[in-house]
Amino acid sequence: MPEGLEVEIWRRAATPIVGRTITGAHVDRTVVPPGFVESVVGEDVTAVRRAGKILLIDTTGPTIGLHFGMTGRLVVDGIAPIERLEYASGRDDPSWDRVVIVGDDRPTPMLRLNDPRRLGRASLDEDVGGLGVDFTAVTPRRLAAALAGRRAAIKSVLLDQHVVAGLGNLCADEVLWWAGIDPHRGAATLGPEEIELLARTIRRRLPSMLRAGGSHTGTLSPAVRSACPPCPRDGHPLRRDRLGGRTAVWCPGHQH
DNA sequence: CCAAATGTTTTCCC
DNA sequence: CGGGAAAACATTTG
């Protein structure tokens, strides 16, 4: 998906829907809970929030949770804040609309979740209390607590939304590259200084990528991930291997 | 035709 | 019950 950065971009773009009334909804029944349409139609939007990679739309009724899967995009009032997603189609095919929410009886839908691969989901009054610390709120202390006792590879642990919420495959590789940490390292083997550096990296690099436009704007951009050129930091050839079922790109030269 | 793709969820095994 | 690895999910694109 869209990682937490993309969802943050969409959250900001969706704030104009606050105060408006949901007058209709069209959904792919396979991606919403039973009774979704009946529960939300007629309610007013009271706030738009984000928890990790989940976009939360509070209403006078239930809170709608939008998960974007790998290829979901959000279109607000006919405008796509992110025109083209990496690794997804550049087209905007209406047949890929999974959740369409009409507001104030306007002809253009207030919100569209457009998702070719259909891995996205919508929820109602979802419990987000089990999510780990949000990527925007990571501190050395919180990160240390989250990593304690974890034997799995640090990269896999960073991708676990119950540990840190909002990091995806690209951002996880990116922060480990900046922090000089081998993604294969067991999470519990990181020392206090490494954890502090990793926490600082998350707090510094991600906002910078947010300003630049999202999780594809890092040093390990999709182009770099695909070509594996010499490491921009030390010239050592980047490596790409399979870790926890995902592609990990890293530099054996400076990530230890 | 084959492989791979910003992500969860489920299943099976310790 | 908890952690972890692998498979499942569904579809498009290069």
Distance A53 CA to B5 C1' (A): 18
pLDDT at A82 over 90: no
Contacts of A134 (CB under 8 A, 6+ apart): A4, A51, A52, A164, A165, A166
pTM: 0.96
Write down the mean pLDDT value for chain A: 95
Name the band, by pLDDT with cuts 50, 70 and 90, for residue A83. confident
pLDDT single digits (tens) A224-236 = 999 999 999 999 9
Name the band, by pLDDT with cuts 50, 70 and 90, for residue A139. very high
**Strand B contacting residues by CB (7 Å):** A 1-3, 6, 52-53, 67-71, 73, 82, 85-88, 117, 119, 121, 159, 161, 168-170, 214-216, 222, 225, 245-247
CA distance A192 to A96: 46
Region A40-47: what's the mean pLDDT? 98
State which residue has its Cα closest to the C1' atom of B4.
A87
CA distance A85 to A174: 18
pLDDT single digits (tens) A144-167 = 999 998 999 999 999 999 999 999
Indicate if the alpha-carbon torsion angle A152, A153, A158, A161 is positive or negative: negative
**Strand C contacting residues by CB (7 Å):** A 30, 88-91, 116-119, 149-153, 156-157, 187, 244-245
Closest CA to A78 of A18, A14, A167: A14
Nucleotides of C under 7 A from a protein CB: 3-13
Distance A228 CA to B9 C1' (A): 31
Contacts of A107 (CB under 8 A, 6+ apart): none
pLDDT at A179 over 80: yes
Nucleotides of B under 7 A from a protein CB: 4-9
Structure confidence at residue A92 (pLDDT): 85
Among residues of chain A, what percentage have pLDDT more than 70?
A: 97
End-to-end CA distance of chain A: 28
Distance A256 CA to C1 C1' (A): 34
Please, what is the Cα angle at A122 between A154 and A23, to 5 degrees? 150
CA distance A73 to A58: 19
SS3 A82: coil
Q: For residue A247, what are the β-bridge partners?
A: A242
Structure tokens at A5: 């950065």
pLDDT single digits (tens) A94-111 = 999 999 999 999 999 999
CA distance A242 to A18: 42
Region A163-183: what's the mean pLDDT? 97
Residue whose pair of structure tokens reads 């999470």 in the numeric block = A187
CA distance A29 to A44: 22
Nucleotide nearest to A70 (CA to C1'): B7
Phi, psi of A221 (to 5 degrees): -65, 165
CA distance A194 to A124: 39
Distance A119 CA to C10 C1' (A): 7
Name the band, by pLDDT with cuts 50, 70 and 90, for residue A91. confident
Residue whose pair of structure tokens reads 């939304």 in the numeric block = A161
**Which position has the higher pLDDT, A88 or A55?**
A55
Q: How far is CA A212 from CA A124, A202, A236, in A?
A: 32, 15, 26
Structure confidence at residue A67 (pLDDT): 97
Q: Report the Cα A243 to chain-centroid distance in Å.
A: 19
